[in-house]
Amino acid sequence: MTAPLPRLQIPDAMLKQAGEVWFEHSDESLFIIKVEPNRFVFKLLNPAHERRTGLRNSDVSGRTPHECLPPAVADAVTERYRSCVETGAAIRYYETLNLPAGVRHWHTVLTPVRDESGRIYRILGSCRDVTVEHEALRREEESRSLMQQMIEASPDILYVYDLVAHCNCFITGQVREILGWSREEIAAMDAKILGTLIHPEDGAAVRDHLARLRSLSDESIAEVEYRMRRSDGRYVWLHSREKVFQRGADGLVTRVFGAATCIQPYKESQAELISAKGLLHATLDSLTAQIAILDASGRIIAVNQAWRQFAEHNILIWPDDPVGANYVEIFRAGAEGDAAALTEGITAVLAGTRSDFRMPYICGSRRFLLQANRFEHEATVHAVVAQEDVTELASVRRELDATAERLLRSQEEERRRIGAELHDSTTQHLTAAGLGLTQIQLLVPDDPDLAAVLERTAASLNEAQREIRAFSYLLFPPSLDRDGLASTLRHFIQGFARRAGLNLVCKVDDAADSAAPPVQRATLRVVQEALTNVHRHARASRVSVMIQVDGTNLKLRITDDGIGVPGTKDDAAPEPGVGIRSMQGRVRQLGGDMSLTGSRRGMTVRISIPLHPTTEEGGVVHSPEGNLQVSPMTP
| Structural contact between residues 603 and 549, judged by C-beta atoms closer than 8 angstroms | no
Confidence of residue 609 (pLDDT cuts 50, 70, 90): very high
Q: State how far the Cα of 580 lies from the Cα of 575, in Å rounded to an integer.
A: 9
Tell me whether domains 21-132 and 484-635 share a fold: no
Domain 289-389, CATH class in plain words? alpha beta
Confidence of residue 238 (pLDDT cuts 50, 70, 90): very high
Looking at every residue in the chain, the average pLDDT score rounds to 82
**Residue in 296, 302, 388 with CA at minimum distance from that of residue 349:** 296
Q: State how far the Cα of 629 lies from the Cα of 576, in Å rounded to an integer.
A: 10
pTM above 0.75, yes or no: no
Confidence of residue 124 (pLDDT cuts 50, 70, 90): very high
**Greater pLDDT, 512 or 442:** 512
Around 207, how many Cα atoms within 13 Å sit in the side-chain half-sphere? 12
Q: Which CATH number fits domain 21-132: 2.40.40.20, 3.30.450.20, 3.40.50.620, 3.30.470.20?
A: 3.30.450.20
* Residues 182-191 pLDDT 10s: 988 888 887 7
- pLDDT surpasses 70 at 169: yes
- pLDDT surpasses 80 at 523: yes
Domain boundaries 154-268, corresponding CATH code: 3.30.450.20
Q: What pLDDT, on a 0 to 100 scale, did the predictor assign at position 423? A: 65
Q: What pLDDT, on a 0 to 100 scale, did the predictor assign at position 336? A: 54
**Residue in 174, 169, 175, 80 with CA at minimum distance from that of residue 127:** 80
- pLDDT surpasses 60 at 616: no
- pLDDT surpasses 50 at 624: no
- pLDDT surpasses 90 at 475: no
- pLDDT surpasses 90 at 41: yes
Give the angle subtended at the CA of 255 by the CAs of 252 and 257, to the nearest 5°.
130
- pLDDT surpasses 70 at 13: no
- pLDDT surpasses 60 at 50: yes
Confidence of residue 402 (pLDDT cuts 50, 70, 90): confident
pLDDT mean over 204-225: 94
Q: What pLDDT, on a 0 to 100 scale, did the predictor assign at position 79? A: 94
Q: What pLDDT, on a 0 to 100 scale, did the predictor assign at position 581? A: 75
Q: What pLDDT, on a 0 to 100 scale, did the predictor assign at position 256? A: 95
Q: State how far the Cα of 253 lies from the Cα of 213, in Å rounded to an integer.
A: 7
* Residues 111-123 pLDDT 10s: 999 988 999 999 9
Q: What pLDDT, on a 0 to 100 scale, did the predictor assign at position 622? A: 43
The answer for residues whose C-beta is within 8 angstroms of residue 297's C-beta and 6 or more apart is 326, 350
Confidence of residue 305 (pLDDT cuts 50, 70, 90): confident
**What are the residue boundaries of the structural domains of the chain, listed by start?**
21-132, 154-268, 289-389, 391-476, 484-635
* Residues 546-579 pLDDT 10s: 999 998 999 999 988 888 765 445 444 455 566 6
Collapse the DSSP code of 380 into the 3-class scheme (helix H, G, I; strand E, B; otherwise coil) and give the result: strand
The answer for residues whose C-beta is within 8 angstroms of residue 253's C-beta and 6 or more apart is 163, 213, 214, 215, 216, 244, 245, 246, 247
**Greater pLDDT, 31 or 405:** 31
Confidence of residue 83 (pLDDT cuts 50, 70, 90): very high
Topology of domain 484-635, CATH: Heat Shock Protein 90 (3.30.565)
- pLDDT surpasses 80 at 375: yes
Q: State how far the Cα of 566 lies from the Cα of 538, in Å rounded to an integer.
A: 9
pLDDT mean over 137-151: 80
* Residues 421-464 pLDDT 10s: 776 677 777 777 777 777 777 777 777 777 777 778 877 877 77
**Greater pLDDT, 614 or 250:** 250
**Residue in 628, 599, 624 with CA at minimum distance from that of residue 526:** 628
